[in-house]
Amino acid sequence: MTLLIDGKKISAAVVEQLAIDTKTFIAEFGVTPGLAVVLVGDDPASQVYVRNKVKQATAAGFHSTEHRLPADTGQEELNALVEQLNNDPSVHGILVQLPLPEQLNEPEIIRLIAAEKDVDGFHPLNVGALASGMAELIPCTPMGCMIMLEKTLGDLSGKHAVVVGRSNIVGKPMAALLLQANCTVTVVHSRSAEIEAICRQADILVAAVGRPEMIRGSWIKPGATVIDVGINAVEKDGKRRLVGDVAFGEASEVAGAISPVPGGVGPMTIACLMKNTLTAARQQVSA
C-alpha cells in the first residue's frame, strides 16, 4: 500500500519545534526574530501564500510585518522599501513575494536583499554557498522536500534521485541537496532525451516543472518515492482544482510513497521559511 507523505503533519511538527527553539533564542538574546513580507499587487494566489506565511510566523513566535504595495509600484519605490528593511535591525528576514508585476526587475530585487536576511535563499551569495555545501539559508521548497524524504526514507545514500525541472528556485538547489545527501542525481528538463525512461530508473523522483499531471504512473519505478512540487490550477468537471505535476491516481498505484497536492510540499515550504528566519536571526545577533 502506498504511503502518503503528509506535508501538513510534518510541517506542523517543524513549526512546533521552532516555537520551542524561538523561546530559547529569545530568552538567550532578548531579541524576537523579525520577518518582513512584501507583497506587490493583488494576485490571489500570492495573497493566500502571504497570509499563510504571516500566520505561521506568529505560530513560531516571530514578530511579523506585512508591506502591501499597489500593482503599479515602480522599481525605485520597491528598491527603497527593501533598503529600508535591510537597514532595520528588528527585521532578520525579508521575503518579497514572487512573481512580481512585469514592470519590476526580479533579479535586481533578489540581489538587493541583504544576503544575511535572504530567507528565500535566492541571493547569489547564498546560491554559491549551497553549491559549495556551506549554505545556512537554503531555498525553502527544496529544504522542505529533503525533510520529507528523510522522514520517509531515513538515509538517502546511494539512492538514484531524478529531478524533473532545472529552475533556480527548485530544480537546481534540489539537485545540490540530494548530492550532499550522497544520492546519485540526474536532472531532466525540456531538452532531455528519453525522459520517461530516465524517470523509471529513479528511487526518488522529484517533479518540479509546473505542467499539470505531466508525469504518469507508467513513468514511475515500482516502490519509488515521489515528491510532487507542482501546484497547478485546472478546470475539471466544471470546477477549479489544484493538481500537481504528477498524475496522482496513477502514480499512487505504483509508488511506494508519494506527496499529495495540495497538502504535501506547500506546507513544508512555509515551515522552512520559518526555519530560515530563525537561522538568520541567530546569525545576525551572534555576528
In a domain? residue 275: no
Domain with 261 in it: what CATH number? 3.40.50.720
Q: What is the mean pLDDT of residues 209-231?
A: 96
In this prediction, residue 124 carries a pLDDT of: 96
In a domain? residue 94: yes
In a domain? residue 1: no
In a domain? residue 271: no
What percentage of the chain carries pLDDT values higher than 90? 88
In a domain? residue 38: yes
Q: What is the mean pLDDT of residues 129-149?
A: 96
Helix (H) and strand (E) counts in the chain = 10, 11
Domain with 59 in it: what CATH number? 3.40.50.10860
Whether the Cβ atoms of residue 139 and residue 170 lie closer than 8 Å to each other: yes
Whether the Cβ atoms of residue 104 and residue 75 lie closer than 8 Å to each other: yes
Whether the Cβ atoms of residue 85 and residue 112 lie closer than 8 Å to each other: no
90 & 185 share domain: no
What is the band of 258 on the pLDDT scale with cuts at 50, 70, 90? Answer: very high
In a domain? residue 276: no
What percentage of the chain carries pLDDT values higher than 70? 100
Q: Is 191 annotated as a binding residue?
A: no
Minimum mean pLDDT range among 44-48, 135-139, 225-229: 44-48
Cell, residue 120: 528565500
Q: What is the mean pLDDT of residues 223-228?
A: 98
Please work out, in degrees rounded to the nearest 5, the angle formed at the alpha carbon of residue 4 by the alpha carbons of 2 and 6.
170
Domain that holds residue 146: 140-266
Tell me if residue 53 is catalytic: yes
In a domain? residue 224: yes
In a domain? residue 132: no
Tell me if residue 97 is catalytic: yes
In this prediction, residue 207 carries a pLDDT of: 98
In this prediction, residue 119 carries a pLDDT of: 97
Show the DSSP H helices in 154-240 as ranges. 171-180, 195-199
Question: Pick the catalytic residue: 56, 117, 118, 120?
Answer: 120
Cell, residue 247: 498524475
Question: Pick the catalytic residue: 53, 117, 172, 275?
Answer: 53
pTM: 0.95
Tell me if residue 120 is catalytic: yes
Q: Is 231 annotated as a binding residue?
A: yes
Q: What is the mean pLDDT of residues 29-46?
A: 91
Our count of domains for the chain comes to: 2
Strand order in the sheet with 63-69: 63-69, 34-40, 93-96
